[in-house]
Amino acid sequence: MLDPYSKLLRKLDRPPSGPNWVRFIQEDPLQTAREIWSFVRGRPPFTYGPSYRILKDRIELGIDPDTARLAASTKGAPIGRVHNREFVDAFLEYESHRQYSASSHIGFETEYFRISRDIVVPIAPLSVIRERGRFVPIFVCGWSTNPLRLRQRRLLMTIYEDAFLSITDFQSSPAEILFFPKFDSQREAEPWLRGDYDLLPQSELDECVEIFLEARELVRRRIIEERDSVRPTEYPDE
């Protein structure tokens, strides 16, 4: 069995998917290290995993809205059901106008934005549909806020482009990136389209990667220092 510090180091070596990784990247390594530290030590009380599966079935299988809402209200951790239901409700409201075609979708593989030889960020849309003869990747993020600053937004679009949209089948495709932040008490759709944000030049992308790597090393040292300062019998509860 891994000791808790080994688990933290393993988590550090497995960055989260695109939007969550982009949230790490601040203006300098120290600020970025704080974000990474919160990630490796944190335990989210719930996830939006149930919603993502429901929305994928809505897009690809055309499940009816009542079935989608019921699933969101009954699946996953109880503490997260109200959040998942709000997310699904907001998507259904947006989709009632957008009207994705459920008749044609394709399979795809998760792709990766490479940080280093051993560290990669997983990149995958929720679904890829075919509309008017072109593939349309649809990326969805369940956050109830969208705190990304302009540079982070450009970074997210850049790694989507680098890892997924540059694939031959998608080079000329439109793409949609959907957020549903809450304003007052209501979630509202915030759709981005391919081209809405300028991509980062290679020099700025390299800078973001370097900031992450330096911050990651700061966090790694802190974990190792904590591990070395205690005896195994003193390990904190996991």
What is the DSSP secondary-structure string of 135-175?
Answer: EEEEEEE--SS----HHHHHHHHHHHIIIIITSGGGTT---
Q: Is the pTM of this model over 0.75?
A: yes
CB atoms inside a 10 Å sphere around CB 10: 11
**CB-based burial label for 187 (10 Å; 0-12, 13-18, 19+):** buried
Other CB atoms within 10 Å distance of the CB of residue 43: 5
Q: Is 86 helix (H, G, I), strand (E, B) or coil?
A: helix
Instruction: Give the residue from 126, 30, 61 showing the smallest Cα distance to 87.
Output: 126
**What confidence score (pLDDT) does residue 83 get?**
95
Residue 68's pLDDT is what?
Answer: 96
pLDDT score at 151: 97
Q: What's the sign of the alpha-carbon dihedral 85, 129, 194, 170? A: positive
Rounded to whole angstroms, the Cα distance separating 231 from 214 reads 28
pLDDT at 185: 87
- Give CA–CA dist 33/114, Å, rounded: 19
Q: How many CA atoms lie within 13 A of 82 on its CB side?
A: 4
pLDDT digits (tens, 9 = 90+) for 102-115: 668 889 999 999 99
* pLDDT value, residue 221: 96
pLDDT tens per residue across span 160-173:
999 999 998 898 89
Q: Quick one: which of 210, 207, 114 has its CA closest to 154?
A: 207
Q: Which residues of the chain have pLDDT under 50?
A: none
Q: Give the integer Cα–Cα distance in Å for 26 and 151.
A: 9
What whole-number distance in Å separates Cα of residue 51 and Cα of residue 42? 21
pLDDT at 14: 95
Token pair recorded at residue 60: 């690809």
CA gap 97, 178 in Å, rounded: 14
Return d(Cα 174, Cα 65) in angstroms, integer.
Answer: 26
User: What H or E segment, with its residue span, contains residue 191?
Assistant: strand 190-193
Closest to 104 (Cα-Cα) out of 138, 137, 128:
128
* CB-count exposure of residue 180 (10 Å: 0-12, 13-18, 19+): buried
pLDDT of residue 232: 61
8 A C-beta contact, residue 129 and residue 105: yes
Give residue 54's pLDDT: 96
